[in-house]
């Protein structure tokens, strides 16, 4: 339960995110309803099936919300820049590029210093960021 609360901190989600998500789901739902109405002209479809399809569509939107809500919150857009200075671990050999893990997320990274590659399992520190690519140095070397 604690892990679930940590992954989906619903009490910390601003109301505007719920509203934005809900408003952006309306066009897809309306399109689905229109397709069902048009399809019922050519195909015999019981009303209960049409209703079930719409309800399942709405349930899909509700189930997806915990996984996508951060993309609807404009205040979290600048958080990625806060990756500079973070400590991570190499999930594969960086020679010079590879993937690192920071706070449970995988990031594409490139080592910026000369010398041997950063091996899997070594700790790294983020020094720069360009788009979604992090530039790192190892913490194990001087």
For residue 59, give both structure tokens: 């349930």
Instruction: Name the percent of the chain lying above pLDDT 90.
Output: 46
- What pTM was computed for the model? 0.51
Average pLDDT over residues 56-73: 88
Question: Given this model, what pLDDT does residue 103 score?
Answer: 82
Q: 34-51, pLDDT tens digit by residue? A: 999 999 999 999 999 999
In this structure, the number of other CB atoms found within 10 A of the CB of residue 128 comes to: 13
DSSP states of 93-122 as a string?
Answer: -BSSEEEEEETTEEEEEEE-SSSSPBPTT-
Residue 116 has pLDDT above 90, yes or no: no
Closest CA to 54 of 22, 18, 30, 38: 30
For residue 116, give both structure tokens: 């041997």
Question: Given this model, what pLDDT does residue 76 score?
Answer: 55
Residue 32 has pLDDT above 90, yes or no: yes
Identify the H or E element spanning 51.
Answer: helix 47-68
> Comparing 139 with 87, which gets the higher pLDDT?
87
Question: Given this model, what pLDDT does residue 33 score?
Answer: 95
Question: Given this model, what pLDDT does residue 1 score?
Answer: 45
Please enumerate, as own/partner, the contacts of 108-116 that have beta carbons within 8 Å and a separation of 24 or more. 108/132, 108/133, 108/134, 109/133, 109/134, 109/135, 109/136, 110/134, 110/135, 110/136, 111/135, 111/136, 111/137, 111/138, 112/136, 112/137, 113/137, 113/138, 113/141, 115/141
Interatomic CA distance for residues 134 and 120, integer angstroms:
16
The domain over range 80-138 is classified in CATH as 2.40.50.140: yes
Show me where the domains of the chain are located. 2-72, 80-138
Question: Given this model, what pLDDT does residue 142 score?
Answer: 46
């Amino acid at each position: 339960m604690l892990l679930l609360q940590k992954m989906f901190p619903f009490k910390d989600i601003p109301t505007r995110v719920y509203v934005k998500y809900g408003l952006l789901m309306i066009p897809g739902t309306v399109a689905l309803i229109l397709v069902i109405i048009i399809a019922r002209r050519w195909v015999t479809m019981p009303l209960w099936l049409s209703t079930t399809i719409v309800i399942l569509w709405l349930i899909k939107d509700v189930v997806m919300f915990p996984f996508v809500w951060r993309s609807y919150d404009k205040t979290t857009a600048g958080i990625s820049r806060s990756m500079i200075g973070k400590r991570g671990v190499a999930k594969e050999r960086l020679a010079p590029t590879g993937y690192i893990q920071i706070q449970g997320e995988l990031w594409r990274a490139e080592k910026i210093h000369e010398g041997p590659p950063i091996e899997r399992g070594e700790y790294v520190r983020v020094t720069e960021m360009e788009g979604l690519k992090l530039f790192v140095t190892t913490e194990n070397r001087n």
